[in-house]
Amino acid sequence: MGSPMRNDGHAGPLLEVRGVTLQYKTKNHLVTATYRVGFDIYNSDRFVLLGPSGCGKSTLLKAVGGYMQPVEGEIRLKGQVVRRPGPDRMMVFQEFDQLLPWRTVKENVMFPLRTGGRLSRKAAQAKAMEYIAKVNLTKFADSYPHTLSGGMKQRVAIARGMAMEPAILLMDEPFAALDALTRRKMQDELLSLWEGTRFTVLFVTHSIPEAIKIGSRILLLSPHPGQVKAEIDSLSAGADGSMVTALEKRIHSMLFADTIEGGTE
Amino acid sequence: MTDSAIVPSGRPEILREPIAAEAFGIVQKPLSTWERITNVGAVRKLVLLVLLAAAWQIYASHLNNPLLFPTFGSTIHAFVRGFASGELVTKSLTSLSVLVKGYAAGIACAAVLTMVAITTRIGTDLLELLTSMFNPLPAIALLPLALIWFGLGEGSIIFVIIHSVLWAVALNTHSGFLSVSNTLRMVGRNYGLRGLPYVVRILIPAAFPSILTGLKIGWAFAWRTLIAAELVFGVSQGSGGLGWYIYENKNELEIPAVFAGLFTVIVIGLIIENVIFRTLEARTVRKWGMQN
């Protein structure tokens, strides 16, 4: 079965991040985004990178995506060092313009399946329609992206990522630009999609409730530069409200401990 | 403050059940016939054309000097006569065939130059330098030089057309590539696309609005340059193009025919702009929602 959680016989974690320091240059400064960050992701993990803005979580995701190289440490996927972007790490971005505007919904999902001759036209079409159905957009398969709402565009991007059945799906605050109602709906949908195929996902967010809801494991990062503060288990789906509130409080105090200690509270 | 601004106390809650959309069908605001007619761009433009033609006819009749300014009627008469005799048709076809050759060659050169410019830094510098040097140089100023290099014929005209197309297209295409959003670039690389497939499948469609603008400007430059160059000499000894037709008729003081030649230049321009480029736009950037 073409499940997205193959490990190809590689023992150990699916993704290993070891002591990764990331730097990028702006006009006048050399910015250190993360300092010696390390974590492991196993098959079917819903791994969440959580932290305030400036903790380098998006930069970290870009490094896993292969868009930038660490100045120190290494990132390995199935034991292989990540050197460049590739379709085994499909990304879902925050921006709505991530769909190719000159292609319909179906063609957008088919495009990566077809590049490099991975699948025949027919097979790609069948697979694309299967995943479009999973995100409930069958009716819009022949629409162009500019006719869709923001939430629908993000669903297409998720379908496109999942249809490739990547080793790991990378999601960079995919719901951050949506309104609150749509965001909650999309979170539920993502979880039910995960129940269906149990794909591995690395999810970046700055929202504590979203991290608890989406994640099975949460990595907390401190800002300027990003360093690991904690790596904790999230709650299972059936957890009651008081447990969620307690965990939220705990995470909040861990992330903002410095400001509380030094502050007037 | 008026009374209506005061909130009444004890307002009741209002709860309603919305009706299913199927129950009331499609609600549509009907348009009057007048609105429907004036909504068509072609109709509005046609009305303007008729008004301009009428103004021309009235002014020329008033002036009553067919040597300086023939009436719209006699211009149309000469135009129809030229078409019937086949002379205007062959002249137009000669001009258009030279135009297509020069235009295609110019676009090919622009493609190579932009390709080099986006893949290498020195290529970018080269493009910027060449464009700032040659873009302000009128193509027709190169004609004397072209005549020495390529002789009295098609070659010279194609050379100046290439010059007029190349810089406009290259400049627009390059700035279009630069303005492609970072997200789309990352998406393309995420698919594992690199090199030429990346340019063809991501950058060119994403930059298509700018490329199309470049093609339109390039076409207008090419058409102008062609007619101007033809005024200097015919394309080949026997049959010249439209520019030559205008020049010849001026020498014979066939002023209505001169106007008919100019009229043909304008009509061909209108057709290419409003039929070919409009269709191309509707099928691409408008359909994709990249331009309204």
In terms of Cα–Cα distance, which of B245, B204, B207 is closest to B83?
Answer: B245
Mean pLDDT of B219-247: 80
- For chain B, the structural domain boundaries read 72-283
Task: Determine, yes or no, domain membership for A222.
Answer: yes
Kindly identify which residue of chain A lies nearest to residue B290, measuring between CA atoms: A101
A230/B45 Cα distance (integer angstroms): 68
Burial (CB count within 10 angstroms: exposed 0-12, middle 13-18, buried 19+), residue B28: exposed
Please tell me the distance in Å from B211's CA to the nearest CA on chain A.
14
Q: Within this chain, do residues A111 and A173 fall inside the same structural domain, yes or no?
A: no
DSSP state of A82: P
* Amino acid A54: pLDDT: 73
Chain A: give the shortest CA distance to residue B185, in Å: 9
Residues of chain A with pLDDT under 70: 1-11, 116, 237-238, 257-265
User: Do A80 and A173 sit in the same domain of this protein?
Assistant: yes
Is the CB of B288 less than 8 angstroms away from the CB of A101?
yes
CA distance A34 to A57: 8
Cβ of B284 within 8 Å of Cβ of A146? The answer is: no
Which pLDDT does position B3 carry in this prediction? 56
For residue A35, what pLDDT is reported? 86
Percent of chain B with pLDDT over 90: 33
**Does the pLDDT at position B58 exceed 90?**
yes
Q: Residue B186: which of A67, A102, A111 has the nearest Cβ?
A: A67
Of A85, A95, A144, which is closest to B183 when you measure between CB atoms?
A: A95
Q: Does B201 touch chain A (CB under 8 A)?
A: yes
* Angle of CA points A163, A212, A88, to nearest 5°: 25
Are A104 and A211 in a shared domain? no
Tell me the whole-structure pTM to 2 decimals: 0.79
Q: Which pLDDT band, with edges at 50, 70 and 90, does B18 fall under?
A: confident
Determine whether the interchain pair A95/B289 forms a contact, defined as Cβ–Cβ distance below 8 Å. no
Does B109 have pLDDT greater than 70? yes
Q: Residues in chain A whose beta carbon is closer than 8 A to a beta carbon of chain B?
A: 65, 67, 84-87, 89-91, 93, 95, 97-98, 100-102, 111-112, 115-116, 144-147
Whether residues A27 and A50 share a domain: the answer is yes
Q: Chain B contacts of A171, Cβ < 8 Å? A: none
Q: What is the mean pLDDT of residues B87-104?
A: 90
- A41 in the same domain as A150: no
When CB atoms are compared, the residue of A67, A95, A116 closest to B192 is: A116
Q: Of B3 and A55, which is predicted with more confidence?
A: A55
H or E element: which one contains A152? helix A150-163
CB contact under 8 A, A93 and B186: yes
Task: Say yes or no for a CB contact (<8 Å) between A115 and B190.
Answer: no
**ipTM (interface pTM):** 0.83
The third-level CATH classification (topology) of the domain covering B72-283 is MetI-like fold (1.10.3720)
Q: Are B199 and B80 in contact (CB under 8 A)?
A: no
- Residues in chain A with CB shorter than 8 Å from the CB of B202 are 100
Q: Strand, helix or coil at A2?
A: coil
CA atoms within 13 A on the CB side of A181: 0
Of B190, B192, B193, the CB nearest to A91: B190
Q: Are residues A172 and A134 in the same domain?
A: no
Q: What is the pLDDT of residue B239?
A: 64
Residue B40 confidence (pLDDT): 84
Q: Please indicate, yes or no, whether residues A47 and A124 belong to a single structural domain of this protein.
A: no
Nearest CA in chain A to B185: A98
The pLDDT assigned to A120 comes to 83
Beta-bridged to residue A91, according to DSSP, are A170
A129 and A186 both lie in a single domain: no
Same domain, A143 and A160: yes
A206 and A154 share one domain: no
Q: Which of B115, B122, B128 is CA-nearest to residue B177?
A: B115
A166 CA: distance to closest CA in chain B (Å): 11
Q: Which of B190, B201, B290 to mutate to test the interface with A (most CBs of A within 10 A)?
A: B190
Chains A and B: how many Cβ contacts under 8 Å?
A: 62
Last residue of a domain, one of A165, A193, A220: A165
B206 vs B6, higher pLDDT: B206
Asked if B288 has any chain A CB less than 8 Å from its own CB, the reply is yes
Pair (A122, A80) in one structural domain: no
CATH number where A40 lies:
3.40.50.300
- pLDDT higher than threshold 80 for residue B115: yes
User: Number of folded domains in chain A?
Assistant: 2
What is the tens place of the pLDDT at every residue in B69-91? 889 999 999 999 988 998 888 88
A263 and A175 in a single domain? The answer is yes
Cβ contact, residue pair B184, A65, below 8 Å: no
Domain that holds residue A119: 99-165
Q: Does B206 touch chain A (CB under 8 A)?
A: yes
Decide if A4 is inside a domain.
no
Residue A91 has its nearest CB partner, among B186, B192, B201, at B186
> SS3 sequence, chain B?
CCHHHCCCCCCCCCCCCCCCHHHHCCCCCCCCHHHHHHCCHHHHHHHHHHHHHHHHHHHHHHHCCCCCCCCHHHHHHHHHHHHHHCHHHHHHHHHHHHHHHHHHHHHHHHHHHHHHHHHCHHHHHHHHHHHHHHCCCCHHHHHHHHHHHHCCCHHHHHHHHHHHHHHHHHHHHHHHHHCCCHHHHHHHHHCCCCHHHHHHHHHHHHCHHHHHHHHHHHHHHHHHHHHHHHHHCCCCCCCCCHHHHHHHHHHCCCHHHHHHHHHHHHHHHHHHHHHHHHHHHHHCCCCCCCCC
Which neighbouring-strand residues pair with A231?
A219
